[in-house]
């Protein structure tokens, strides 16, 4: 049971990190990224390939850097495009990463993937306690990322990004570099997804292309929509809710004997799709709407006017 709980906590943490990355790109800056899974996979493989050479912390930083670099390049190529085109380019990026992972055997191990990835601190922590320590590390990572992103969102950069999302024309008329702002948002989001990928690799200790399917992208979108676009706190709640519900469907298999493994997977994904549609229709602002600043927040003495 302890092992099961720790599995769920790590899975939720990975999903929360991915969601935080997407929330920064899409929720805060308004950039649709349908290729989330590509950046997560890039992070996971970077971490898996480098960890035995540079140690886990550097591997994690490297994973973030590689994903951020890929995001920057992709953003630079395509971000001046309208939302529809950006969505198409990113979905293509996700597919291309998957094809590369499957076919560049010399580096990625092809369909077999990479096994025996060393876990962080495994020399210090005894194996018996590892299942309690790793979830704590994962939650710490989520907390740190949350704090960092929340600071960014509150900073002038975050304000500028929200303005770019709401009306890029006004922002560029005010002399802000819209393109640079968007690239920054995309790179930061990509870095967070890379970190999520490295946590995924460290936890499972083996990775293969089959783990990185569009389901990761779907969960992330669902988490952002459920939590409320632009709200990091909402995102954490959204990610926890979704992953718990998804995990709960596991027990369906025990109660409904007619449902086999393939059907269970289909049921989960189908419900996620249905959830995305229903949320967009019924509660587009999500659980927690993005916090709006009022005049009083800046000038406590002023009369409240809208």
The number of beta carbons lying within 10 Å of the beta carbon of residue 288 is 18
Helix (H) or strand (E) holding 33: none
| Smallest gap from residue 217 Cβ to another protein (A) | 8
* Contact criterion met (CB below 8 Å) for 31 and 185: yes
**Which is closer to another protein, CB of 177 or CB of 273?**
273
| Smallest gap from residue 81 Cβ to another protein (A) | 6
Residue 30 structure tokens: 């308004």
CA atoms within 13 A on the CB side of 92: 8
Strands (E), 61-124: none
Work out whether 73 is an interface residue with another protein (CB under 8 A). Answer: no
* Contact criterion met (CB below 8 Å) for 84 and 52: no
* Number of residues near another protein (by CB under 8 A): 39
Work out whether 246 is an interface residue with another protein (CB under 8 A). Answer: no
Residue 168 structure tokens: 């890029």
Residue 288 structure tokens: 């927690």
Of 52, 54, 103, 148, the one binding another protein (CB under 8 A) is 103
* Contact criterion met (CB below 8 Å) for 215 and 197: no
Give the chain's radius of gyration (CA, Å): 20
Of 77, 140, 174, 295, the one binding another protein (CB under 8 A) is 77
**Which is closer to another protein, CB of 5 or CB of 280?**
280
* Window of 80-88, 115-123, 153-161, 298-306 that interacts with another protein by CB under 8 A: 80-88
Closest CA to 45 of 103, 121, 97, 120: 97
Query: What three-state secondary structure class fits 207?
Result: strand
Work out whether 263 is an interface residue with another protein (CB under 8 A). Answer: yes
Of 46, 78, 108, 231, the one binding another protein (CB under 8 A) is 78
Query: What three-state secondary structure class fits 114?
Result: strand
| Smallest gap from residue 263 Cβ to another protein (A) | 5
Work out whether 99 is an interface residue with another protein (CB under 8 A). Answer: yes
Closest CA to 10 of 119, 137, 125: 137
* Window of 16-24, 59-67, 197-205, 264-272 that interacts with another protein by CB under 8 A: 264-272
Work out whether 84 is an interface residue with another protein (CB under 8 A). Answer: yes
Work out whether 92 is an interface residue with another protein (CB under 8 A). Answer: yes
* Contact criterion met (CB below 8 Å) for 188 and 59: no
Of 267, 285, 287, 289, the one binding another protein (CB under 8 A) is 267
Provide the CA 231 distance to its chain's centre, in angstroms. 14
Binders of another protein in range 26-65 (CB under 8 A):
30, 32, 34
Binders of another protein in range 272-291 (CB under 8 A):
272-277, 280-281, 284
Work out whether 144 is an interface residue with another protein (CB under 8 A). Answer: no
Nearest-angstrom CA–CA distance, 65 and 77: 18
- Residues of the shown chain interacting with another protein in the complex, contacts defined by CB under 8 A: 30, 32, 34, 77-78, 81, 83-85, 87-89, 91-93, 95-96, 99, 102-103, 218, 221, 225, 262-263, 265-267, 269-270, 272-277, 280-281, 284
């Amino acid at each position: 049971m302890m092992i099961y709980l720790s599995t769920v906590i790590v899975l939720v943490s990975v999903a929360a990190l991915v969601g935080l990355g997407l929330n920064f790109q899409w929720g805060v800056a308004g950039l649709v990224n349908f290729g989330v899974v590509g950046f997560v996979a890039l992070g996971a493989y970077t971490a898996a390939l480098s960890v035995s050479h540079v140690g886990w912390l550097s591997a994690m930083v490297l994973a973030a850097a590689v994903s951020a670099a890929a995001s920057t390049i992709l953003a630079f190529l395509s971000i001046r495009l309208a939302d529809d085109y950006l969505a198409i380019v990113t979905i293509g990026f996700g597919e291309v990463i998957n094809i590369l992972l499957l076919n560049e055997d010399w580096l990625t191990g092809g369909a077999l993937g990479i096994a025996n990835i060393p876990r962080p601190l495994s020399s210090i922590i005894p194996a018996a306690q590892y299942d309690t320590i790793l979830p704590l590390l994962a939650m710490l990572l989520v907390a740190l990322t949350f704090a960092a992103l929340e600071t960014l969102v509150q900073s002038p950069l975050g304000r500028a990004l929200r303005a770019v999302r709401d009306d890029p024309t006004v922002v560029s008329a005010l002399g802000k570099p819209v393109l640079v702002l968007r690239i920054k948002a995309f790179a930061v989001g990509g870095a967070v997804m890379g970190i999520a990928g490295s946590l995924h690799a460290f936890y499972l200790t083996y990775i293969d292309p089959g783990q990185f399917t569009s389901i990761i992208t779907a969960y992330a979108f669902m988490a952002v929509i459920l939590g409320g676009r632009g709200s990091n706190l909402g995102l954490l709640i959204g990610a926890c809710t979704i992953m718990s519900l998804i995990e709960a469907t596991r027990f369906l298999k025990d109660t409904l004997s007619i449902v086999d493994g393939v059907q269970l997977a289909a049921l989960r994904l189908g419900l996620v799709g249905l959830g995305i549609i229903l949320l967009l229709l019924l509660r587009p602002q999500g659980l927690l709407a993005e916090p709006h600043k009022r005049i009083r927040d800046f000038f406590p003495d002023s009369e409240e006017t809208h």
